[in-house]
Amino acid sequence: MRLSGVELRLISMPLVAPFRTSFGIETTREILLLRVVTDEAEGWGECVAMADPLYSSEYVHAAADVLTRFLIPALAEVPALDGNAVAPALARFKGHRMAKAALETAVLDAELRTQGRSMARELGAVRDRVPCGVSVGIMNSIGELLDAVGGYLDAGYLRIKLKIEPGWDIEPVRAVRERFGDDVLLQVDANTAYTLADARHLAGLDPFGLLLIEQPFDEEDVHAHAELARVITTPVCLDESITSARAAADAIRLGACQIVNIKPGRVGGYLEARRIHDVCAANGVPVWAGGMLETGIGRAANVALAALPGFTVPGDTSASDRYYRTDITEPFVLDGGHLTVPSGPGIGVTPIPDELAAVTVKVDWLPL
């Protein structure tokens, strides 16, 4: 394919409810979308970076800048552009994995649409629907939390994940167990809010039979997670720390994680995400698909990834209405706790022009 240009589109999506984590509270999701135009087809990619560098060092306007000044121009020089050619062409630029992931996904989407192949087929999906969990934010009271959890269980979600932070951890877990019983699949995500000094406190979660505790410590403190895994019985899962297949192999070898949350944006794209899946599968480490409050564009590709064989625990691929009243694509609707894997060419969805226009803040066209 030959690249004729890339559209960078900034959209602003109001959340159905504020979403609070240990690193802050979100009421609106600012998202950068890429539309790659080639001589054969167009492709879409969603950058999962937040507006502020709170989850990781990336943020929306930095992604737009690095794409505009470095990453997109680097693709103009690629003679035979396809999904596999993107990461090598961008490798000389350090970091910016979420920006790189959005660009690679858009090129891969265009290539697959040209070939009439689905992302699921390309990645090696073995299922046509995936079991879905839901991520529940930190709430103002235990009562409010229990109402939210009850609503999600009524909606059919097969797994509940609670955001935790110091001061909001054991009590909410205990309350959910007491109200909804021991059979509900339940896990927690600390988004790096604790340190090894909290290990004994975190062992207080062990009696509640959690599936996992996700990323309790700093992204770079892999050893501390291995230490923690030796003193608690709850399996340790990593998210922010797993930035590549190599990082996954190192963390597994160090005993720092028994489960991995895979997010294509965090690791530079769906092709690296598949490599992480393969490394984990080779080591008997279950994986699940994390979420970054994606629109249907990112959600479609995440659901395809979640259909790979090693994704054996429900992920955060929730329905569109978990976050948005109106999605910019046909909404993903929970059916018996599952989402259907898109089967059309490429990511299998495209934005609905009127919905996209309604949330668009800024559009830039970068000709090549």
- Under the binding rule (CB under 6 A), the answer on residue 189 touching ligand NPQ is yes
- The one among 44, 55, 311, 324 contacting ligand NPQ by CB under 6 A: 55
Which whole-number Å values give the CA distances from 334 to 171, 251, 274, 286, 322, in the listed order? 29, 33, 24, 23, 10
Q: Which of 1, 11, 13, 21 binds ligand NPQ (CB under 6 A)?
A: 21
- Write out the binding residues for ligand NPQ, residues 104-163 only, by CB under 6 A: 135
- Catalog residues that contact Mg ion under the rule CB under 5 A: 189, 214, 239
Reference 40, options 86, 2, 81; nearest CA is: 2
Asked if 329 and 319 touch (Cβ cutoff 8 Å), the reply is no
Element (H, E) at 224: helix 222-231
Three-state secondary structure string covering 288-336: EECCCCCCHHHHHHHHHHCCCCCECCCECCCCHHHCCCCCCCCCCCCEC
Q: Quote the least distance from Cβ 137 to ligand NPQ, whole Å.
A: 8
In whole angstroms, the minimum distance from the beta carbon of 235 to ligand NPQ comes to 16
**Binding string, 291-310, against ligand NPQ, x = CB under 6 A?**
xxx-----------------
CB of 189 to ligand NPQ, least distance (A): 5
Q: Which residue is nearest to ligand NPQ (CB)?
A: 135
Nearest to 287 by CA among 318, 319, 252: 252
Distance CA 156, CA 151 (A): 9
Minimum separation from the CB atom of position 240 to ligand NPQ (A): 7
Closest by alpha carbon to 133, among 153, 163, 114, 111? Answer: 153
With a CB cutoff of 8 Å and minimum separation 6, the contacts of 207 are none
* Ramachandran category for residue 172: left, alpha or beta (phi over 0 → left; psi -120 to 50 → alpha): alpha
315 binds ligand NPQ (CB under 6 A): no
Would residue 100 show up in a list of annotated catalytic residues for this protein? Answer: no
The option from Mg ion, ligand NPQ, none interacting with 46 (CB < 5 to 8 A, set by class) reads none
| By CB under 6 A, residue 26 contacts ligand NPQ | yes
CB of 13 to ligand NPQ, least distance (A): 10
Which residues are annotated as catalytic? Answer: 163, 263
| Binding site residues, ligand NPQ, CB under 6 A | 19, 21, 26, 29, 50, 55, 135, 189, 191, 239, 290-293, 316
